[in-house]
Structures are given as structure tokens and as C-alpha cells.
């Protein structure tokens, strides 16, 4: 049994806590949140204890691993504390909004050779994993173009935008990671953005719509399309195009039924709304992989360096947006 503590019992922390509690090879020992009521509610639905402080988890020798699902600006400190205490870490994305802080965090813990996994859950989506397997096995020959569409159903509240670090570091960061997962390392980034959806986002100095083009080491071209609002739901699609064909991962629905009548034909259910519903299997598989790595002493398929590289791409996109120039990466 791997014994786990959770930091942060908000939207994603509560879900992770439930997934850990229902995993057959883990025990959710305790949960901590600065809002005690949030921790108490998560403890109630999972059967875990409420930890009285961060130290109560970090210093608990019974706990093997922690999951960090608190706000982004707390990740580096919690990860450093936990790694120094010898615990494996699954940390939500992004590691931090500041590249210097990310680098100094790794400089501080690298010599401990910790198990650190970053919560890029989309890598664990069964359809995306199958797409990656077929790409790697040569199903479409050499990859030439990768198109990632990622649109949220509705913009988040202003308070969220304020602390988010902007569209690229908060939202596109998942797509940057997927781009690397499917197409390899990136050498060139060009970003354009606009405010087409929510005036409040513009007032906060952020954008709500973006298109990014990138070039990989192998020469493939990547396109990412983002919006903070898709009226038809959480739009998550991928198209990989190569010399001998194309692989398409479409949106998912609760059922595959379609209605045909006088008002129209081939009318399907709405696509799944938002991340917890759309990526349910991925979040479970993510926890399962983390546990496997702890049990077998292997490295996660998505580690600290992947978190750092995704942030590097987000920073490059921001620089490109501000300067209008293509940004070259080493
Ligand atoms: N991978 C994904 O799909 C995904 C989805 C949503 C959010 N996230 C990431 O997860 C993190 C949390 O996001 P959220 O939407 O759940 O936020 P949230 O605001 O809903 O929840 C965060 C919780 O952490 C608590 N908290 C604040 N400081 C804390 C501390 N020092 N220690 C413990 N708890 C603390 C807050 O009280 C709150 O309950 C963010 O970094 C976000 O980027 C990832």
C-alpha cells in the first residue's frame, strides 16, 4: 500500500483525493487545506484524516508520497519540502509561473533523485495514448503536421485569471506538453492572440484566444488553437498528419447515439463538458502510473523536466506575442 497525503482540496484536489481513496493499492492518509472546511469535506467523502498543518503531512513517516493540488504559487515550496522529506511527489501543473524559481527548485532537490511527476493528465487519456502508440509504430509514416484544438466551455472568474499567469502558462501549457509528447522537442514558436470573448480578461492584461505555430527538431509543424469559450462544450481534438495518412482524436460524448428527425439529421449528444468529466479515465490512469513508479522505483513518463520544458514554451509564446517575432529555442 502506498500511503499518500494531499495538499489542496479545491476543484482538482478533491477529485484526486477521491481517486486515490478508491485506488486498490493506495491509502489516502490525510489531506490539508488552508481552508479547514475544504479539508474536512474532502476527508468526509474519502475517509482520510484532516492534517492540522503542512508539516503534519511532510513529517509523517507513515506517508510515502504527496499530491500537490494547491494554487500554483505554493507548488515549489511544497515540492521542495516533500522531496527533502523523502516523499514521492505528484504536482499539479504548472510547476510555477517563474522559470528561475522552477530551475532553483530543481537545483535544490535534484541530488535527492526524487520521484517527481507533473500533472499533465492528457498524456494519460486512453485515446491520446493510442494515438501516440500508432504514431510511434509508424502508422502514418513521418509526422509532418500536428494540430491541437483546446477550447474551454466558458471563461473562468476574474479572480482565477488574476492568479493564473496568463493563458499560455495556465491553459496552453497542457497543449505545449502534448505537442512535445507527440512531436518531440520544439525549436521555434510563433504566437498570436486576441481578446474576442471576455472584456474582463482584456482589462486584466490577458488574452482569451490564441493561435500558436511551432516547428519541431524533426521539422514537423505544430499548430495549437485555444479559446476560453466554446459555446458547444470542452473542445479537445487532435489531428496528426503524416506521409502515409492521418490520425484524428475527436471530442467525446456520453453516448454515441444520434437523432434523425424533421428538425435535422445526425444530431448527437453534447460533447463532454470540462476537464473532470472529459478526462476522468486519464486522471485515474495518472494516479495509477504514479503508484507504479513508486512501487517499481521507475521514473514517471512525465517528470520535472517536462514541466520545465512546457513552461519554457509558454514563456516563448508570450515573448512572441509581445514582440510579434518568431522565438527560436536552443
Ligand atoms: N491538470 C488539470 O487538469 C488541472 C485542472 C485544474 C487545476 N489544475 C491546477 O491545480 C492547482 C489547483 O487548482 P484548482 O482549480 O483546484 O484551485 P482551487 O482554488 O479550486 O483549489 C485550491 C485549494 O488549495 C487550497 N490552498 C491554498 N493554499 C494552500 C496551501 N498552502 N496548502 C494547502 N492548500 C492550500 C485553497 O484553499 C483551495 O481549497 C493549480 O495549480 C491549477 O493550475 C490542474
Residue with cell 482524436: 249
Decide: helix, strand or coil at residue 160: helix
pTM for this structure?
A: 0.97
- Ligand 1 proximity of 10 Cβ (cutoff 6 Å): yes
| Segment 234-286, tens digit of pLDDT | 999 999 999 999 999 999 999 999 999 999 999 999 999 899 999 999 999 99
Domain spanning 2-114, CATH architecture: 3-Layer(aba) Sandwich (3.40)
Residue with cell 468526509: 44
Domain coordinates in residue numbering, the chain: 2-114, 123-278+309-328
User: 9 CA distance to ligand 1 centroid (A)?
Assistant: 7
330 confidence band (pLDDT: 50, 70, 90):
confident
Task: Tell me: cis bond preceding 94? Omega within 30 of 0 counts.
Answer: yes
**Domains 2-114 and 123-278+309-328 belong to one CATH topology:** no
For the chain, list the strands marked E by DSSP: 2-7, 26-32, 49-50, 65-68, 88-91, 116-118, 143-151, 186-194, 209-216, 221-227, 235-242, 245-249, 258-261, 264-268, 327-328
- Residue 276 CA: nearest ligand 1 atom is 3
End-to-end CA distance of the chain: 42
| Segment 32-57, tens digit of pLDDT | 999 999 999 999 999 999 999 999 99
pLDDT, position 266: 94
Residue 16 in grid coordinates = 484526486
The secondary structure of 220-268, three-state, reads: CEEEEEEECCCCCCCEEEEEEEECCEEEEECCCECCCCEEEECCEEEEE
Residue located nearest, by CA, to atom 4 of ligand 1 = 12
User: 70 CA distance to ligand 1 centroid (A)?
Assistant: 4
Domain spanning 123-278+309-328, CATH architecture: 2-Layer Sandwich (3.30)
| Segment 211-234, tens digit of pLDDT | 999 999 999 999 999 999 999 999
β-partners of residue 222 are 146, 214
Amino acid at each position: 500500500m502506498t500511503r499518500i497525503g494531499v495538499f489542496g482540496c479545491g476543484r482538482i484536489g478533491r477529485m484526486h483525493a477521491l481517486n486515490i481513496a478508491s485506488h486498490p493499492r493506495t491509502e489516502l492518509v490525510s489531506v490539508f487545506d488552508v481552508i479547514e472546511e475544504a479539508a474536512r469535506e474532502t476527508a468526509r467523502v474519502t475517509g482520510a484524516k484532516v492534517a492540522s498543518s503542512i508539516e503534519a503531512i511532510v513529517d509523517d513517516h507513515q506517508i510515502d508520497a504527496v499530491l500537490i493540488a494547491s494554487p500554483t504559487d505554493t507548488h515549489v515550496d511544497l515540492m521542495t519540502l516533500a522531496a527533502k522529506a523523502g516523499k514521492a511527489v505528484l504536482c499539479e501543473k504548472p510547476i510555477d509561473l517563474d522559470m528561475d524559481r522552477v530551475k532553483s527548485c530543481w537545483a535544490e532537490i535534484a541530488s535527492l533523485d526524487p520521484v517527481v511527476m507533473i500533472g499533465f493528465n492528457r498524456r494519460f487519456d486512453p485515446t491520446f495514448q493510442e494515438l501516440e502508440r500508432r504514431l510511434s509504430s509508424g502508422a502514418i509514416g513521418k509526422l509532418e503536421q500536428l494540430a491541437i484544438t483546446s477550447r474551454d466551455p466558458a471563461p473562468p472568474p476574474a479572480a482565477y485569471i488574476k492568479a493564473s499567469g496568463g493563458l499560455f502558462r495556465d491553459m496552453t501549457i497542457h497543449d505545449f506538453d502534448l505537442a512535445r509528447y507527440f512531436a518531440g522537442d520544439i525549436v521555434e514558436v510563433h504566437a498570436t492572440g486576441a481578446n474576442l470573448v471576455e472584456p474582463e480578461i482584456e482589462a486584466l492584461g490577458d488574452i482569451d484566444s490564441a493561435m500558436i505555430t511551432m516547428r519541431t527538431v524533426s521539422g514537423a509543424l505544430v499548430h495549437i488553437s485555444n479559446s476560453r469559450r466554446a459555446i458547444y462544450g470542452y473542445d479537445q481534438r487532435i489531428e496528426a498528419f503524416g506521409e502515409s495518412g492521418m490520425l484524428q482524436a475527436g471530442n467525446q460524448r456520453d453516448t454515441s447515439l444520434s437523432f434523425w428527425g424533421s428538425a435535422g439529421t445526425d444530431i448527437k449528444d453534447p460533447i463532454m463538458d470540462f476537464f473532470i468529466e472529459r478526462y476522468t479515465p486519464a486522471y485515474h490512469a495518472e494516479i495509477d502510473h504514479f503508484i507504479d513508479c513508486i512501487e517499481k522505483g521507475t521514473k514517471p513518463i512525465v517528470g520535472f523536466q517536462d514541466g520545465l520544458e512546457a513552461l519554457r514554451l509558454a514563456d516563448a509564446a508570450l515573448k512572441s506575442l509581445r514582440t510579434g517575432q518568431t522565438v527560436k529555442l536552443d
